[in-house]
Chains A and B, each alone.
Chain A
Amino acid sequence: MVEILLIKLVVAGLVFAAVLNLAGFHTWVERKQSALIQDRIGANRAPIFGFTMLGMFHGVADVLKMFTKEDIVPDRADKVLHTIAPFFSVFFALVAFAAIPFGPPLHLGDRVIDLQVAKIDAALLYVFAMLSLGVYGVILAGFASRNNYAIMGGLRATAQMISYEIAIGISLIGVIMVYGTMDLAELVRAQGQLLGGWVPFWGIFAQPVGFIVFVTAALAETKRLPFDLPEGESEIIGYFVEYSGMKFGMFFLTDFLETIVVASLATTLFFGGWQVPYLTEDGFLFPWGGQLPVQNWVYVLLGVASFSIKGLIFCFLFMQLRWTLPRFRYDQLMNLGWKGLFPIAVINVVVTAFVLAFLGGSS
Chain B
Amino acid sequence: MAVKAVQRRELTFWEKLYIPQIICGLKITSTHFFRNLFLHTAHLLGRLKNVPASVTIQYPEERRPLMSRYRSRHRLTLREDNSPRCVGCMLCETVCPARCITIVPGEHPDPDVEKYPIRFDIDLGMCVYCGYCVEVCPEDAIRMDTGILDLAAYSREAMRLDIHELMGPKLRKPISDCSLEFPHICASADGEMKGGWDSVPRSKGS
Contact = CB atoms under 8 A, between A and B. Distances in A.
B82 interface: no
B40 interface: yes
Scoring A35, A39, A323, A325 by chain B CB atoms within 10 A of each residue's CB, the highest score goes to: A39
A18 interface: no
B32 interface: yes
A323 B29 contact: yes
A341 to B, nearest CB: 11
Nearest to A322: B29
B48 to A, nearest CB: 15
A48 interface: no
A-side interface size class? 10 to 19
Interface residues of B, number: 17
A52 interface: no
Interface string B11-35: 0000000010010011011101100
A40 B56 contact: yes
A39 B22 contact: no
Contacts of B40: 36
A321 interface: yes
A324 B25 CA distance: 6
B25 A325 contact: yes
B72 interface: no
A37 B28 CA distance: 9
Contact of A321 (B26, B28, B32): B26
A40 B39 CA distance: 12
A35 B19 CA distance: 25
Contact of B36 (A36, A323, A324, A325): A36
B55 interface: yes
A36 B32 CA distance: 7
A325 B54 contact: no
A320 B25 CA distance: 10
Contacts of A320: 26, 29-30, 33
B26 A39 contact: no
Contacts of B189: none
24 contacts: A33-B33, A35-B54, A36-B33, A36-B36, A36-B40, A37-B33, A38-B32, A39-B32, A39-B36, A39-B54, A40-B55, A40-B56, A41-B53, A41-B54, A41-B58, A320-B29, A320-B33, A321-B22, A323-B29, A324-B22, A324-B25, A324-B26, A324-B28, A325-B25
A-B residue pairs, 7 tightest by C-beta = A36-B36, A324-B25, A41-B56, A324-B29, A37-B29, A41-B54, A36-B33
Given A36-B36, A39-B53, 15 more contacts: A37-B33, A39-B32, A39-B36, A39-B54, A39-B55, A40-B56, A41-B53, A41-B54, A41-B56, A41-B58, A320-B30, A321-B26, A324-B26, A324-B28, A325-B22
